[in-house]
Amino acid sequence: MTVHTEDAAMHGELLEPITPEGRELLRLIETHRPAIAEAAPGNDRNGTFPREVFEGLRKDGVLGATVPSVLGGLGVDRLHDVSLALLKVAEADASTALALHMQLSRALTLTYEWRTGPAHARALAERLLRGMGSGESVVPTGVKDIPRDRRPTTLTPADDGGWLLSGGKTLVSLAPIATDFAVYAQTRVPGERPLSAMAVLTRDTPGLTVLDNWDGLGMRASGTVDILFEDCRIAPEDVVLRGPAGEQDLAMLAGQTVSSVTMLGIYTGIAQSAREIAVSAILRKGTADAAAARTLVAGMDARLFTMRAAVAAALATSDRLSYDDTSDPQKRGPAMMTPFQCAKMMVNQMAPSIVFDAQTLIGGASFVASHPLARLYRDVRAGGFMQPYTFVDAVDYLSAQALGPVRNG
C-alpha cells in the first residue's frame, strides 16, 4: 500500500512549507510583506532599489536564510521552501523577490561547494557563507557578459601569482547593496586552453565599477545593473577553476537548476497576485454573475493550478536529486534540468496570460501605468528572458532530449 506523507502532499500543492526552517522563513517574510507592498509602487515608478526593505530583511536574518545553520544562517535547504518564500514576496513586489532570489540562490550553490568541492573552494564558500549568515555579506552573481564587449570576461595571470579580471557583466540584480560579487569568467593563459572559472571580489576592489544604468520595462526596482572590471586583482584563493571553457558538461546542469529553479515561484506569485486583484475587483463591483467574468476566472484558476503543480513537481525532483552523490553526475544534471525547463516553459506561457485576463476583467483602468496590474504585466514578461533558458534555447534543449541534437547540413 502506498503511504501518502504530509511532505509529499505539500510538495504537490506549493502552498505550505515542508520543513521547520521553511516555516520560519515564511513567518519572517510575512512580517515584511506590508512594507514591501507599500514601497513597491513608488520604487517601480522611480526605478529605485528598496534599500530600507532589504535592511529590514537583513536584520531579521532573511538574507542568510539558505546558509546552513552551523554557519550562522536559518538553514533552509529545500528548494520547495525557497521557491514558496519567493512566491510570497512576489505577491507583494516581484522586483524585491528577484533581488532576494540572487542572495538566496547564491547561498544554495555555495553550500553545495562547501560540502563537496575541493579544499580551497570549500574554504572560499565557507568564508562567504559565514558573512551571508551573519548579515554582513550580500553576494549577487554576474553571469551574462555585456553584449557590446563581444568578448568574455577574462582572468589573466597576475605577477603576484593571482589573477587580473577584466570585462563586464550585465543584468546583475541586487548590485546596489552588494558587498561582494561572484563572477563567471574564462581564463586566458598563454599556451593553455581557456577554463571556466568563478572569481569572487569585494565591492571596493580597485578597477570594479557598479553602474547605475537600469531602466527596464519591468522589475524596475530590482537593482539590475551592469558591472565593469578593469584589471581587478584577485587572490588565487578567491578563484575556483572549472572545466574547459565552452565545453558542455552535463553535470553542471544540476548546479544551474539549483541556482535558478526557485525563481519559478516569483512568476507564479505574480500570476496569483493578478488573479486576487481581479477577483476582488469584480466582487466589489457586483459583476461576478457575468458569464465572461466567470469564464475568465475559471480559466485563471485552472492555469494557476497547472502552474503550481508543474513548479512543485520540478522542485520535488530537484530536492530529491540535488544532494544525491550516488548517481551518475552526467545523468543527474539532465534529470534535474529537464523538469525545470518543462515547468519554466509552462510558467512563461501561463503567467502572462493570467495577468492579461486579469486586466481584461478590470478594463481600461489597468492600462494606466500606476495601476497594480500594469506593473504586474511588465514584471511577468521578465520570466521569458531569464536563464536558463530563454524560449529558443529551451526549445533546443527539450527537443534534443526526445529527438537528439539538430544535425547541421
Per-residue pLDDT, averaged over 2-13, amounts to 51
- Residue 285, pLDDT > 80, answer yes
pLDDT in tens, 196-213: 999 999 999 999 999 999
Share of the chain above pLDDT 70, in %: 96
pLDDT in tens, 51-69: 999 999 999 999 999 999 9
Residue 323 pLDDT class (50, 70, 90 cuts): confident
Asked if residues 186 and 243 have their Cβ atoms less than 8 Å apart, the reply is no
- Residue 163, pLDDT > 50, answer yes
Higher pLDDT, 321 or 147: 321
Q: The cell 535547504 sits on which residue?
A: 77
The per-residue pLDDT of the chain, averaged, comes to 94
Question: What is the model's pLDDT at position 149?
Answer: 61
Question: What is the model's pLDDT at position 327?
Answer: 85
Question: What is the model's pLDDT at position 147?
Answer: 82
Kindly report the pTM of this predicted structure: 0.95
Residue 6 pLDDT class (50, 70, 90 cuts): very low
- The most distant pair of C-alpha atoms in the chain lies apart, rounded to whole Å, by 75
Residue in 268, 229, 334 with CA at minimum distance from that of residue 101:
268
**Residues in the chain, how many?**
409
Q: The cell 502572462 sits on which residue?
A: 352
> Which positions ≥6 away from 301 have C-beta within 8 Å?
275
pLDDT in tens, 110-154: 999 999 999 999 999 999 999 999 999 999 999 999 986 667 899
- Residue 406, pLDDT > 90, answer no
> What is the C-alpha to C-alpha distance for residues 189 and 158, in angstroms, rounded to an integer?
10
Question: What is the model's pLDDT at position 238?
Answer: 98
pLDDT in tens, 11-49: 578 999 999 999 999 999 999 999 999 999 999 999 999
Return the sign of the alpha-carbon dihedral for residues 32, 38, 44, 49.
negative
DSSP category for residue 156: E
Question: What is the model's pLDDT at position 11?
Answer: 59
- Residue 102, pLDDT > 50, answer yes
Share of the chain above pLDDT 90, in %: 91
Q: Which three cell numbers stand for residue 314?
A: 520540478
Range with the poorest average pLDDT among 108-122, 238-252, 376-390: 238-252
> Which positions ≥6 away from 156 have C-beta within 8 Å?
163, 164, 166, 187, 188, 189
**Residues paired with 239 in a beta bridge:** 199
Burial class (CB in 10 A: 0-12, 13-18, 19+), 193: exposed
- Residue 5, pLDDT > 90, answer no
